Structure 1
């Protein structure tokens, strides 16, 4: 005769459910154990336990010091000086400078006219009427005249430019800065040169000496001297 088990009494029937319930209870107990806090019922341990004997406490007596009374200030009486009255009083009469019917009118020849303060030299970029290079006379606009002047200067340099053979043999090259002045009569003067070598400076001076006579610059209609600067570059090929 075989024994038959009652399925309702099988122990392994709900073992998974029991396992999760047990794990939940264990985790809950572990969380409560970690978060458990205890508090002291009294804070007597936090109080200082130092006891000071009464005889060691010294009371400092209050003392009062009386400052000496400052000596009284003796103020000298003011000195009164008696000034004698002026015997004679001279009154100054201020005459009126306004003209009236008796005022004499001076002639025009007696009136001094101030001279015009036109400077003797005006820079090229500031002058009212710039010097005119031959060939730029047909231009009426002053700014265009200045541009034409600079353009004609470049063409003049290109036309007369010669690289000295001695400078080529010596390997000389560089830029020569030139400053010259267009005089009141349109001629060229006061030429100043600065370059890397004397040979290049002489060649630049020769080019400037070939400049034609120009129409002088004018400031308020009066001819003035006009300085002008331009570089000439010598470069070996």
Structure 2
């Protein structure tokens, strides 16, 4: 077991959980309820991780503030109905559980930094028994959302870990921007909402295409005495 503190900070949607279909379907239904033209998937995938108001504003740039508020309300209510359906599914990616178990066994601290709400996180834990893996959880209800570094900074502060001993792992450019702004090493994954070339262009220090290589990289990570900001 290692004695030096190391922290792996995880995004959820598109990184640990395959929520691509469910998020897009809920967004489309919310737009229809609000009387707005639904977005294409390529537009939806680019806003995942942002705060809901910012995401809806980007997807409906010509909408009024009242329209955006209604869209946000419709999106939230549509999620409640979607989660209640017996066929609702957001499967874990193959290798996600094994990776979390490996990190825990090796003495890593584990945090969550997600655009989900607390209610969304609770729904995730009802689907997948993951709560015990996380030493601290930060989400959309806790302050500035991605790409602001707030969630990563709060996770490090809560656990007493320096930026040079922390990793941010996510599938979206917003995750990479958040991690880099907080001065931590960023690991992008290509199986979620972001394309590999987008993650590279956003400045990801690494981009992985399978959990096997991601797990190996994380477990072999050596903390540095200074952060990787910039």
Q: Structure 1 length normalisation: TM-score?
A: 0.19
Q: More helix by proportion, 1 or 2?
A: 2
Structure number, greater radius of gyration: 1
Between 1 and 2, higher relative CO (CA 8 Å, sep ≥ 6) is seen in 2
TM-score (normalised: structure 2): 0.19
